[in-house]
Structures are given as C-alpha cells and as structure tokens.
Amino acid sequence: MEATFKDPKIEGYNKRKRLLDYLIKGASIVVFVATIPEIYYWITDTLIVVSVILALFGFCYFLNKKGHTNLAANIIVLTVSILVFFQCMLTGLSSMVFCFYMPLLIGIPFIIDNKNIGLILMHMLIPIMLCAYLLFINQASAHAAKELATGFTNINGQINFLCALSQCGFFAWFIIRDHSSSQKLILLSKANIEYKNAKLLKTNNEMDHLVYSISHDLRAPIASALGLIEISKLETDPEKLKYYEILKEACLRRLDNFIYDILNYLKNNRLEIEVCNVSIKEEILNSIEMNSIYNDQVHVTIECEYEGDFYTDKNRLRMILNNIISNAFRYAKPSTVEKTIHIKVRNNFPTLEIAVKDNGVGINKEYIDKIFEMFFKTDEKTKGSGLGLYITKEALTKIHGSITVWSEKGVGSIFTITIPNLENVPLVREDNNINSIME
C-alpha cells in the first residue's frame, strides 16, 4: 500500500489558491455586513470605497480562478491596505476600520508565495505603517468623524470590530486545519516509508532465496543429466542405456518445472491485474488436461454449481488452479488403488469457493503453516521446486482472494480457494493503495 504524494510546490500553490478563494468569498460577506450602517445612514463617501473594495474582490476572484493566484493575492493585500486607510480617514478611529489590518496581517504569510520573504515583509510593513499613522500622527480623521452621526459611529465601530474579529477567527481555523493536514501528511509519509521498507525487506529475502535456489535446484538436475551422459558414454547395454535415458528425461522435466515456477513467480510480481470474463469450469478442465500426464491413473470428478459470467485475472487464476491441481496429481499415494481428485465449485456470491480434494500422501500437521513459504519443502526428496504454493498465495493476494488447507498424513488434502468476482470492483494499483493526501 504505497501512497501517491503530490509535488510540494504544486500542493503549496493549490493551498494558497483555495485559501484565497475562501478569503475573497468570506471577506465579501464581511464587508457587506460591515457596510450596513453606511447604507442605513447613507454615507456616500464610504459607500464608494466599499463599492471599490467589492469590485476589487470580484476582479481578484476572477484572476484566481484563471490561475493567476500570485497576482490576485498581491493586488488584494496592497489595495486593501490602502482602501482601509482611506476608509478610516473618512470615518475616524471610532469606526474601528483599522481593526481590519489584524486579519490582513495574519493572512499575508498564507496567501503570498512564501518563497518571496521580502515581498511578504513589504506587504506586512505597509499596513503596520498606515495603522501607526492613523493612530499616532493623523488628526484629520477625528475632525471627519465629528461630521458623522453619533449613532452611526457607535454602531459602525462595533460591527467593524466584530467583523475583523471573525476574519481573525477564520485564519485561526485555517491554521489549525493546515496543521492537521500537515500531521496527516507526516503520518502518511511515515506509513509509506514503513510499507516500502517492509516490501524491500521482503523482496531482498525473496531474492536471497531465489539466488540460493537457482544455484542449487537449477544446477542439480543439470549436474545429474551431465553425469548420466558421461556414464552412458561408457555403457553398451541397451537396457541400461534406456534406463539412463529415462533418468535424464526426469532430470530435464525437473529443470523445466523449476524454470516454469520461476517464470510464474516473475509474472505474478510484474504483470498488472487484467480483469476479464472467464469460464471457471473451462479453466479447471484445461488444468486437469495439462496435469493428467503426471499420473493417468487418477480419477477426477468435478461438481460445479456456477457456470455464469465471472470476472477475475485469467493469468493468475490459471497459475492458482494449475499449482493446486498439479500437486493433487503429483502427490497421489502410490499404494492407493483408487486415486481420486474431487473438485467442487461453490457459488457464495460475490465470491466463488473452489475446493480441490485428493486422497494422496497428505501433509504432516507440523508443516501446514509453512507450506506457503517461499521454497519450503517437507523434505529434500519432494518433487517440486517449493515455489508452487508460495506463488499460489501471492497470486490470490493480488486478486483479493484467500486459501485454506486441511490435510492429514496418509489420508489426503483439501485446498480451498476463495476468489471474489471483480466485475465493477475498482482495483487499486499496488503502489497507490495508501489514501492520497486530502485536497
């Protein structure tokens, strides 16, 4: 389950774009609410300033939607600083318009590109200087305020203060939300690293086993065949030569089976899942036909409760069925007169259950939990490569299936596989199965 993480630069830009979008919408509502006293008392000069601010917000909203976020942010910060100054000059300090500098100062580091520290500092310095001028130097605003109605001044000051406070609250909420998103990103990154490390460790262990097995199991039948060839050169007895040919054939078959298992292992690891409509019964019959050469004395019966459309990965289904059914043929008990394999397909919608039962040699209880390990063999005389059941379980994991086994030494085995119908089921690529970072 590996995460797909977004480019930090792109994500930072998108975050500023979303924030500016929220800010323009929220600020437009706040400005409209703060303008109610001006509308009630019809203060023409301040209404003109407010109209300019709202028009500016609309223009910057359009720029932001078109992808010009940096330009829109710079225009808003600079012009709002100046327009708040003029509004305060018109209505006086008692109108508390200068309080809007507080949310502006809080928001500047979030909406201006943080790569340009100098620009951020300049934008923060402008409202601070303008506010200082209004509070400590300018006297004209006090015279201007006297010309306004006392009721308007009181109400306007209270509303402006509350609106500025609400904007500060918005930025506080955004900071908390941003911190929460960052924490989630850290946790997902940690999970991604841990998953990659576990996957890498598993791959390294498999490669170690694979190299050892290739050096041992691949060379062993070759060495045996070469030895038999050398012996055959010195032999003149036709019967013994015929016997040596049979042994050489067995060595080559063992080599061929090992290479086949290695190829299946690589296919299962490398191939993408390709879901298509398959005939379960037909795949079972094909697997029986392909493996019956190992023991033509085995009697096979099939009980299939489902013959409708079934969607899964055909290549992996063939690997799974071939490994399970071939084992049932290979490990038939020689001393048993009636060697049987019974295959039952049960429909448990939306899954299918396929049970392969045989009366073969069986497996010791102590080995049941180990048979799905890579290259595990109950003993060195075992015919297979030790990869078949490992590949089976790995392939089932890829298609969201599972496998269980019951076995008793000298009695037989039952391998039961459960596979889901993957029609209309979205499959997540292995390298994308951690949730993406939230928008």
* pLDDT over 60 at 275, yes or no: yes
Angle separating helix axes 69-91 and 8-34, nearest 10 degrees:
30
More reliable by pLDDT, 54 or 43? 54
Q: Whole-angstrom Cα distance, residue 64 to residue 51?
A: 20
Q: Which of 127-131, 198-202, 360-364, 428-432 has the lowest mean pLDDT?
A: 428-432
* The predicted structure's pLDDT at residue 384: 62
DSSP 8-state secondary structure symbol assigned to residue 272: P
* Segments making up each domain of the chain, as ranges: 8-194, 273-420
Q: Whole-angstrom Cα distance, residue 87 to residue 93?
A: 10
* pLDDT over 80 at 198, yes or no: yes
- Across 14-28, 174-188, 395-409, the highest mean pLDDT is recorded for 395-409
Which position has the token pair 């075992």?
382
pLDDT (tens digit, 9 = 90+) per residue, 76-135?
888 888 888 887 887 777 778 888 888 888 888 888 877 788 888 998 899 899 888 888
More reliable by pLDDT, 261 or 428? 261
Report CA-CA distances (Å) from 34 to 29, 31, 59, 81, 170. Answer: 9, 5, 20, 17, 16
* The predicted structure's pLDDT at residue 118: 86
Confidence of residue 28 (pLDDT cuts 50, 70, 90): confident
Residue 76 corresponds to which tokens in the numbers above?
């808003």
* The predicted structure's pLDDT at residue 81: 86
Q: Whole-angstrom Cα distance, residue 31 to residue 52?
A: 11
Residue 331: how many other CB atoms lie within 10 Å: 20
| Torsions phi, psi for 382 (to 5 deg) | -60, 140
Q: What value does the mean pLDDT of the chain take?
A: 79
Confidence of residue 1 (pLDDT cuts 50, 70, 90): very low
More reliable by pLDDT, 93 or 37? 93
| Torsions phi, psi for 402 (to 5 deg) | -150, 165
* pLDDT over 60 at 434, yes or no: no
Which residue type occupies 6? Answer: K
Contacts of 231 (CB under 8 A, 6+ apart): 244
pLDDT (tens digit, 9 = 90+) per residue, 286-309?
888 888 877 778 899 999 888 788
Q: If we measure between CA atoms, which residue out of 36, 38, 80 comes closest to residue 57?
A: 80
153 touches 91 (CB < 8 A): yes
Judge if pTM exceeds 0.85. no
As a whole number, mean pLDDT of residues 145-161 equals 64
Which position has the token pair 């919608």?
349
Q: Which of 121-135, 223-237, 379-393 has the lowest mean pLDDT?
A: 379-393
47 touches 39 (CB < 8 A): yes
CATH number of 273-420: 3.30.565.10
Q: Whole-angstrom Cα distance, residue 323 to residue 389?
A: 7
Q: Whole-angstrom Cα distance, residue 340 to residue 337?
A: 10
- Determine what percent of the chain falls in helix, strand and coil, rounding each to the nearest 5: 65, 10, 25
Q: Whole-angstrom Cα distance, residue 167 to residue 159?
A: 12
E strand or H helix at 5: none
pLDDT (tens digit, 9 = 90+) per residue, 6-16?
555 566 677 77
108 touches 115 (CB < 8 A): no
